[in-house]
Amino acid sequence: MPVICGKFLKVFLVASVFITLSFIDVAAAEDKNPCASKNIPIRKNAIKDSVALKEMGIKLWGSTAMGTSGTACGTCHPDGAGLKKEPFPKYIKMPDDIVTMDQMINFCMVNPMKGKPLKWNSQEMTALAGYITVNAKDGATAPVNPCGMKNPCASKNPCGMK
């Protein structure tokens, strides 16, 4: 009798180890596959309305409240002037570097606009990227230089406005 009991115990223990291992395996596989979980939000307020996003992009493009230099994106890029169709990442002279679209948005946010860089997952970043994508043109004209300066982005206040 004790021998049978011992055997049974052994089988039980071995089986339980295997069962536990198989659960760990499944958990590990789910970790490896990010698509196994349902939704992984990138921000608190998801954007679902593309028309509203487009309107937000147009509004931000014309807003001088984005930075502190008194300029808007549209001051230098009226109707998307200077936005070239050639896809990012690409070389841009002003930063003298190859940059992504988001990096260029923040470059202009920080330098000519004298504002804070936008967060990677902000609605503003998405809205401006939308505006740029829609308004980029083949053979785009150069950005406007609102102050007639040699380098509109080198000075603290590109337009001498308050």
Q: Which is nearer to ligand HEC, 47 or 133 (CB)?
A: 133
Q: Which is nearer to ligand HEC, 16 or 134 (CB)?
A: 134
Q: How far is the CB of 48 from ligand HEC (least distance, A)?
A: 23
Positions touching ligand HEC (CB under 6 A) are: 66, 71, 73, 75-77, 82-84, 92-94, 101, 104-105, 108-109, 112-113, 128, 132, 143, 146, 152-153, 158
Q: Which is nearer to ligand HEC, 47 or 92 (CB)?
A: 92
36: which DSSP letter?
A: G
Q: Which is nearer to ligand HEC, 19 or 65 (CB)?
A: 65
Q: Quick one: tokens of 125?
A: 């970043």
Query: Which amino acid belongs to residue 33?
Result: N
> 42-57: string of b/e by CB count within 10 Å (b at 16+)?
eeeeeeeeeeebeebb
Q: How far is the CB of 75 from ligand HEC (least distance, A)?
A: 5
**In terms of DSSP H, where are the helices of 46-95?**
50-61, 73-76
Q: How far is the CB of 71 from ligand HEC (least distance, A)?
A: 4
Q: Is the dihedral of CA 72, 50, 103, 121 positive or negative?
A: positive
Q: How far is the CB of 86 from ligand HEC (least distance, A)?
A: 7
Contact between 135 and 80 (Cβ < 8 Å)? yes
